Amino acid sequence: MVLATEQAQTSRDPQWLPAVQRPAIEFPLTPLTVTAGAIPKNLQGTLYRNGPGRIVRSGQPTGHWFDGDGAVLAVHFGRSPDQPQGPPQARATYRMVQTAAYEQEEAADRWLFANYGQLAPKPWWQRVGRDLKNAANTSVLPWGDRLLALWEGGWPHALDLDNLTTIGPDSLDGVLKPGQAFSAHPKVDPATGEIYNFGVLPGPRPKLNLLRFDRAGRLLAQRQLPLRSLPLIHDCVLAGPYLVFCIPPLSLELLPALLNFKCFSDAMKWQGDRPTQVWFVDRETLTLAATIEAEPWFQWHFGNGWQNPDRSVSLTMARYPNFATNQHLKEAASGKINTLATSQYVELRFDLQRRQLLDQRILFDRHSDFPTVAPSEVGSPNRYSYFSAHRPDLNRPAAFKQEQFGTIARHDAQTDRITYASLEPGCYPSEPLFVADPAGDGRSGWILSVVYDGNRDCSDLRIWQSDQLDDVPIARLAFPHPINLGFHGVWHPKSTS
């Protein structure tokens, strides 16, 4: 049930707020209308995206944007069976992930469980020892005959690849044991198809659980490395022969969190007088090859990594000077943002023999995040990086605080040139996703983004030619209902249509 108070907006609310607070409006497989341009003939496959679809119940918002229940979008591109030589078509469906906790809270029409940014609404002694709700809201990963909805604190949830029906929690054929997590940022080697992922194992002696699978999802290697504390590790990056982790000086106050005196978000403490640890893990053996300490920083997401001819290793990332970004995202759930948190897109180069950071370079000095590269270039040098950013005409810090990303940008590593997509004010693009043209070399293709238009309260899918980002989209496809602002997505080249 959606209450009127949940949808009420004031004239001072930001334009993006309906796409955060309004419960996701689900719809079954529906043909999409092309409102401008044409779908590229070689675009054959499925775009999947995930993000919070429910962050308000009975007028009560969640404690953090990360607490929202997952809603998954699928856009299938293909030709009609009746017209195999006809023009490409697109069908889409948008579904809530039917986790057990979501179904219970839906029936009760109120929050029942603890999550990253909120405590369960009950006395503390009834909260002790209770697991966090698995929100299944962060990303997606095609896995054999199913789609995995990912959340970094627990098991993935399996969905039907075509219609997104929830199948249930998935242990990956017994690989994941009770209490073990499968992060929302797996990495796929473009040459071998091998899949790497990790999960943090909490407890008095926390560990980082590393996993390596073949392209079919069979486990090849697993190893647990001890952690000095219980940090927040959100992402990893492939860099030549290494799997790299940047572990920030951020640790969990374990006792208050375990006793449920504090939610996990509030129990995370920034320790700016301590270094960031950079772990270089051998991809074959999953053993720790080198550890380098550097200045303190925090990052949610990496762009890419690679090994240079001199055997140094370079990483790109959206780097924050501290953990204020967490408070900023917490406040976004209410639409009343008071915390400024800005990043820089940077390139860092490390000498593993001398165990030091050699140099660092700012590639983009404006707030951005969700960096990505062509999948064929993951783990090797790339020319172009794509990321979400603020509009170039947005210059006031106060505006930075209140606005969500309003454009997509591309950095050219050869020229240092920044190219912006042209979006209307009041429009909010999702994370850009690079889709390679199967007729090309893997470096040419398209950029896909789901755009919420706050002026008209609607969403569409926009497709740009990857080398013409500053031109108009080559296609726009209208969704039957607005799509909530989400987090991450993936392209699955084999069409399920």
DSSP assignment of 112-177:
-S-BTTB--SS-HHHHTTPPPP----SEEEEETTEEEEEBTTS--EEEETTT--EEEE--TTTTSP
* pTM of the predicted protein model: 0.95
So what's the architecture of 4-492 in CATH?
Answer: 7 Propeller (2.130)
| pLDDT score for 5 | 34
Q: Which residues contact 390 (CB under 8 A, 6 or more apart)?
A: 366, 367, 368, 399, 400, 403, 405, 406, 407
How do the domains of the chain map onto residue ranges? Answer: 4-492
pLDDT at 10: 46
- Taking the mean position of all CA atoms in its chain, how far away is CA 142? 15
In order along its 497 residues, the chain shows pLDDT tens digits of 333 333 434 457 899 999 999 999 999 999 999 999 999 999 999 999 999 999 999 999 999 999 999 999 999 999 877 777 778 999 999 999 999 999 999 999 999 999 999 988 877 666 666 678 999 999 999 999 999 999 999 999 999 999 999 999 999 999 999 999 999 999 999 999 999 999 999 888 999 999 999 999 999 999 999 998 889 999 999 999 999 999 999 988 878 877 778 899 999 999 999 999 999 999 999 999 999 999 999 999 999 999 999 999 999 999 999 999 999 999 999 999 999 999 999 999 999 999 999 999 999 999 999 999 999 999 999 999 999 999 998 877 767 778 999 999 999 999 999 999 989 999 999 999 999 999 999 889 999 999 999 999 999 999 999 999 999 999 999 999 999 999 999 999 974 44
Angle at 231 between CA 114 and CA 248, to 5 degrees: 135
Q: What pLDDT shows up at residue 79?
A: 86
Q: Is 333 left (phi over 0), alpha (psi -120 to 50) or beta?
A: alpha
pLDDT tens figures, 209-267:
999 999 999 999 999 999 988 899 999 999 999 999 999 999 888 788 777 788 999 99
Strand arrangement, sheet containing 219-226: 187-188, 195-201, 207-213, 219-226
The dihedral built from the CA positions of residue 486, 490, 493 and 494, taken in this order, carries a sign that is negative
Residue 326's H or E segment, with its range, is helix 324-332
Query: Which pLDDT score, from 0 to 100, does residue 309 have?
Result: 98
Mean pLDDT of the chain: 93
What is each CA distance from 34 to 44, 84, 208, 308, in whole angstroms? 16, 19, 46, 44
Contact 218, 195 (CB under 8 A): no
Count of all residues that appear for the chain in the document? 497
What distance, in Å, lies between the first and last C-alpha atoms of the chain?
32
Segment 90-114, tens digit of pLDDT: 999 999 999 999 999 999 999 999 9
Contacts of 4 (CB under 8 A, 6+ apart): none
Say what the pLDDT of residue 127 is.
67
Half-sphere exposure of 427 (CA within 13 A, CB side): 17
- At residue 112, the pLDDT reads 94
Contact in structure between 304 and 378 (CB atoms under 8 Å): yes
Please report, as a single letter, which amino acid is at residue 417.
Answer: R
Report pLDDT digits (tens) over 453-495: 999 999 999 999 999 999 999 999 999 999 999 999 999 997 4
Would you state the pLDDT for residue 3? 35
pLDDT for residue 124: 67
* Angle of CA points 227, 233, 235, to nearest 5°: 135
Residue 129's pLDDT is what? 62
Question: Cα–Cα distance between 28 and 188 in angstroms, integer?
Answer: 30
Amino acid at 314: S
Between the alpha carbon of residue 337 and those of residues 10, 140, 264, 393, 404, the distances in Å are 15, 28, 20, 20, 11
- Give the per-residue pLDDT at 8: 39
What is the CB neighbour count within 10 angstroms for residue 84? 8
Take residue 100 and report the two structure tokens written for it.
């057990």
Lookup: tokens for 20: 């955060």
For residue 322, the tally of other CB atoms under 10 A from its CB is 15
